[in-house]
Structure 1
Amino acid sequence: METQNRTVFIAFSSQKGGVGKSTFTAMAASILHYRLGYNVAIFDCDYPQHSLSKMRKRDLEAIMQNEVFKKLAKRQFSAINKKAYPILHCRADEALKEADIFLRSSSVPVNVVFFDLPGTVNTPGLLNTLAGMQYIFSPITADRVVIESTLTFTDVLSNILISQGHTSIQAIQLFWNQVDGRERSPLYASYEKLISELGLTLMRTQITDSKRFRKEGEAEARTIFRSTLLPPDEKLMRGCRLDQFMDEFLKIVKL
Structure 2
Amino acid sequence: MICLFGNQKGGVGKSTLTVLSGNYLSLAKNWPVTIIDMDYQQSISQKFEKAKVLENDEPYDVMAATLETFPVLSNMLTKSKKDAILIDLPGKLDDDGLIPVFKCADMVICPFSYDEFTFESTVLFAVVLKKVNPKVQVVFIPNRIKANVKFEIMSEVNEQLSKFGKITAAIPDRIDFQRITTFQTPLSLYGVITPVFEEIFADRLWKK
**TM-score, L = length of structure 1:** 0.73
Conservation of the 8 A alpha-carbon contact between 1:45 and 1:95: no
Q: Percent identity?
A: 21
Partners in 2 of 1:84 and 1:243 — Cα distance? Answer: 18
Partners in 2 of 1:109 and 1:13 — Cα distance? Answer: 21
Conservation of the 8 A alpha-carbon contact between 2:113 and 2:119: yes
Match of 1:29 in 2: 22
The 1:228–1:189 alpha-carbon spacing in structure 2 relative to 1, beyond 3 Å, is same
SS in 2 for 1:120: coil
Give the residue type in structure 2 aligned to 1:250: F
Name which of 57, 67, 85 aligns with 2:49: 57
Q: Does 1:88 align with 2:88?
A: no
Give the residue type in structure 1 aligned to 2:107: Y
Match of 2:175 in 1: 211
Measured after TM superposition, the shift of residue 181 of structure 1 is 2.4
Deviates more, 1:136-145 or 1:84-93: 84-93
Rg (Cα) greater in structure: 1
Runs of 4+ aligned residues of structure 1 deviating over 6 Å after TM superposition are: none
Measured after TM superposition, the shift of residue 193 of structure 1 is 2.2
Partners in 2 of 1:125 and 1:12 — Cα distance? Answer: 16
Measured after TM superposition, the shift of residue 170 of structure 1 is 3.1
Structure 1 unaligned residues grouped into runs of 5+: 1-7, 65-69, 78-82, 164-168, 217-225
Measured after TM superposition, the shift of residue 59 of structure 1 is 2.2
Partners in 2 of 1:182 and 1:173 — Cα distance? Answer: 24
Please provide the CA RMSD for this pair. 2.3
SS in 2 for 1:87: strand
Partners in 2 of 1:37 and 1:124 — Cα distance? Answer: 35
The 1:181–1:252 alpha-carbon spacing in structure 2 relative to 1, beyond 3 Å, is farther
**TM-score, L = length of structure 2:** 0.88
Match of 1:161 in 2: 132
Name which of 179, 185, 190 aligns with 1:237: 190
Measured after TM superposition, the shift of residue 96 of structure 1 is 4.6
Q: Does 1:134 align with 2:114?
A: no
Partners in 2 of 1:191 and 1:25 — Cα distance? Answer: 23
Give the residue type in structure 1 aligned to 2:168: R
How many residues align? The count is 206
The 1:201–1:252 alpha-carbon spacing in structure 2 relative to 1, beyond 3 Å, is farther
